[in-house]
Amino acid sequence: MGVRQAQKQQSRRALMDAGLRLLEEQNLAGLGVREVTRAAGMSPAGFYRHFRDMADLGVALVEESLASLHVLVRSVLEERGGAEELIDRTVEVIEQHVRGNRAHVRFLARERHGGVRQVREAVAAELDRFAEEVGAALAPQSVSEGWSDEELRMLAGLYVEHMVSTAASFLEAPDPEAGRRIAATARMQLRLVSLGRRHWKDI
Amino acid sequence: MGVRQAQKQQSRRALMDAGLRLLEEQNLAGLGVREVTRAAGMSPAGFYRHFRDMADLGVALVEESLASLHVLVRSVLEERGGAEELIDRTVEVIEQHVRGNRAHVRFLARERHGGVRQVREAVAAELDRFAEEVGAALAPQSVSEGWSDEELRMLAGLYVEHMVSTAASFLEAPDPEAGRRIAATARMQLRLVSLGRRHWKDI
DNA sequence: TGTACATCAGTGAACGCGCGTTCACTGATGTAC
DNA sequence: TGTACATCAGTGAACGCGCGTTCACTGATGTAC
């Protein structure tokens, strides 16, 4: 990649970083081209060398945010161990991810039901893919014996939804103590779901 | 109430209705005073006879939206019957509520993690109150024997979170068939949680 | 009931401002020979 | 290596526009007697 390409890439990053930072306190729909370019140290017109409009930048941010979330989900699904350890590990990984990617997580929580259709749809489509992936990982487990595709999808959806809402809760935690309470609650909830899962086929 | 008061009330309603309608397609943070007054058939300056600013109108809408949700939650909690009927009834009530209050539900989903702090906090506080209320209703049930306050709060939180996410799903359903799928999934998820709940004290 | 005055919801004009987008441009980087 | 031209990321000025908010006002409603 030539110097010019590298510089362009750098400017694009600066715009996305500025956007991400500004979006911690406001909605994508309320974010302005001038605002972002100002924060990125660029002239307003320069924005258009990278994005068609703000929605376009939003979609780019969704892709980036969900890519890092994808890594997270995959890593949890690959873990092996007893139910209890898996639950502890899951909650721990969510908490760490939120800590390390506050802006991305906040952006997703905020724009998931936000005012920009393209962005909403991108988030929804990606969460569906997560659910599918989780479902595929649950299928071969012995506890899932006799489960239909529909039942697996239902369970996967419950897990994904729980992950999202737990991440959003961590985001709002005002202090470490609140974080610990959220983690404890999330672990109990996962334990309860796991129990229900084990007894699903008891008739 | 005199004629003048009644007319003022009517104008206030017109502003809130216009806001609610406009917020189906955008965020509160992106909504303008002129936009709302135009939609409500009032001059821009008239807005300030009713609200300090848009955030103020937002908080009024939260209160209204959550009042109707409160009625919903209460009605479900008061129902009596077998676990299976209660689950069916719960999902049915959620679906009906979304059908009859689309704009309010959408507003809540959108602004729960939206860009206006006051509004976010109002929603969070009210959802906490719901969870507490649900917890109080669960406590006396025989299945809850031996459950600590913490455990009851954890379960109540799971139910409230599930209600919110199910309502949001109904909102996005493009056709009746999708609605039926969402309802079926929600019922199964509640059944699974109910199973976990019954086996929570099995050691 | 009638009259004189007070209240105040809603108006219309005005303000200064920052917005998104366009344009011709500049000058560093890339390419062909 | 050097030269001549092409590309194109980023600039700075300009545009027209709708914004939030203020202000003095109007006229219907309310109140006191």
Report if CB A52 to strand C is under 7 Å.
no
Contacts of B165 in chain A (CB under 8 A): 161, 165
Phi-psi region of A147 (alpha: psi -120 to 50; beta: other; left: phi over 0): beta
Residue entry with tokens 């060398």 = A49
Amino acid occupying residue B156 = A
Amino acid A47: pLDDT: 98
Q: Helix/strand/coil (H, E, C) string of B108-156?
A: HHHHHCCCCHHHHHHHHHHHHHHHHHHHHHHCCCHHHCCCCHHHHHHHH
Closest chain B residue to A191 measured between Cα atoms? B196
Closest CB to B110: pick one of A115, A151, A194.
Answer: A115
How close B134 gets to chain A, by Cα (Å)?
16
Amino acid A203: pLDDT: 72
Amino acid B203: pLDDT: 72
Task: Name the nucleotide with the smallest C1'–CA separation from B43.
Answer: C11
Nearest protein residue to C29's C1' (by CA)? A4
* pLDDT above 80: residue B176: yes
Closest chain A residue to B110 measured between Cα atoms? A113
* pLDDT above 90: residue B127: yes
Q: Identify which of B67, B61, B64, B8 has the alpha carbon closest to the alpha carbon of residue B31.
A: B61
Interface of B with A (CB under 8 A): 25-27, 29-30, 106, 109-110, 112-115, 124, 150-151, 153-155, 157-158, 161-162, 165, 168, 172, 184-185, 188-189, 191-200, 202
Amino acid B6: pLDDT: 96
Q: Which pLDDT band holds residue A33 (cuts at 50, 70, 90)? A: very high
Structure tokens at A158: 């419950």
Top pLDDT among B80 and B151 is at B151
How close B5 gets to chain A, by Cα (Å)?
35
DSSP states along B14-63: HHHHHHHHHTTSS-GGG--HHHHHHHHT--GGGGGGT-SSHHHHHHHHHH
Structure tokens at A180: 């610990």
Amino acid A107: pLDDT: 98
* pLDDT above 80: residue B124: yes
Would you call B196 exposed, middle or buried from its count of C-beta atoms within 10 A (0-12, 13-18, 19+)? buried
Structure tokens at A5: 């390409």
Q: Do B154 and A188 lie within an 8 Å CB cutoff?
A: yes
Q: Any residues with CB less than 8 A from the CB of A104 and at least 6 apart, and which?
A: A20, A61, A64, A65, A68, A69
Report if CB A30 to strand C is under 7 Å.
no
Cα(B59)–Cα(A7) distance, rounded to whole angstroms?
45
Q: What is the mean pLDDT of residues A100-108?
A: 97
Closest chain A residue to B198 measured between Cα atoms? A196
